[in-house]
Each structure stands twice: as structure tokens, then as C-alpha cells.
Amino acid sequence: MAAKKNTYRISFLNQGKVYEIYARDVHQSGLFGFIEVEKILFGEKSSLLVDPSEEHLKSEFNGVSRTYIPMHSVIRIDEVEKTGTGKITRAEGSSDKVAPFPVFAPGHESPKS
């Protein structure tokens, strides 16, 4: 009997948008404050319709074998029966006109223009 493969749906915030991705493995990372996500899954091409947000996810995670998501960005992690379609949506109350203020580590020079 083959072992059941777990599938996880991970929802997290990234730059004012909610990302929803599917993956086989989710772990607490050795990097303090991060969740480690491996084996990212994408939906099967079963129709002629192309979902632009899933295509953006595919291009953004192309060649990524493992990603680290800050714990404070994670909305929820669910174990699901089957893989759905990944998507990117605008977060409630967010605006593309507002960006986080850049922070530079002390002791390092800021980049010169």
C-alpha cells in the first residue's frame, strides 16, 4: 500500500497581496521566524483558459526548490485532500501606492545612486 502524500495550502501576505500556494512539504525552518515550504505544486492544465495569477505564481517560483516565508506573513496553513489552483489576490484595505519603508542594517553603507 502506497503512503498517502500530504498536500498543504499555504496563504500568506507578500507586498500587499495574498498568495495562496500548494506544496507537499511545510516545516518550521532552521532560520528563526520562517516557515520552510518545499515541492510547490501547480494545477494541471485541463482547459484552454489561462489564469493570469497562477501564471504569475509559476513564473515567480520557477526554479525554486524551497522557499522561506516569514511567520508573521502566514495567514493559515491547511492540509487538503487535493491540489487546487494557486492564486494571488489583493489584500483587503491594501493599496499598491503604499510600500514598506526600506530598512538598512546599522554599520553598512546605504547604496549610492
Across the chain, mean pLDDT equals 80
For residue range 55-77, list pLDDT tens digits in order. 888 888 888 889 999 999 999 99
pLDDT of 90 strictly over 60: yes
In which domain, by residue range, is 29 found?
A: 7-44+51-90
Q: Is residue 69 part of a domain?
A: yes
In a domain, 14, yes or no: yes
- Residue 109's pLDDT band, with cuts at 50, 70 and 90, is low
* pTM for this model (two decimals): 0.72
Query: How many CA atoms within 13 Å lie on the side-chain side of 80?
Result: 18
In a domain, residue 100? The reply is no
CA distance 73 to 69: 7
Would residue 76 count as lying in a domain? yes
Single-letter code of the amino acid located at 23: A
Look at residues 9, 27, 26 and name the one whose alpha carbon lies nearest to residue 18: 9
In a domain, 21, yes or no: yes
What's the structural domain count of the chain?
1
In the prediction, which pLDDT does 88 show? 85
Q: Note the pLDDT tens digit of each residue in 21-66.
A: 999 999 998 888 899 999 988 766 555 666 677 788 888 888 888 9
Instruction: Residue 20: count other Cβ atoms within 10 Å of its Cβ.
Output: 20
Q: Is residue 103 part of a domain?
A: no
Q: Is 99 domain-assigned?
A: no
CA angle 95-12-63, nearest 5°?
105
Q: Is residue 81 part of a domain?
A: yes
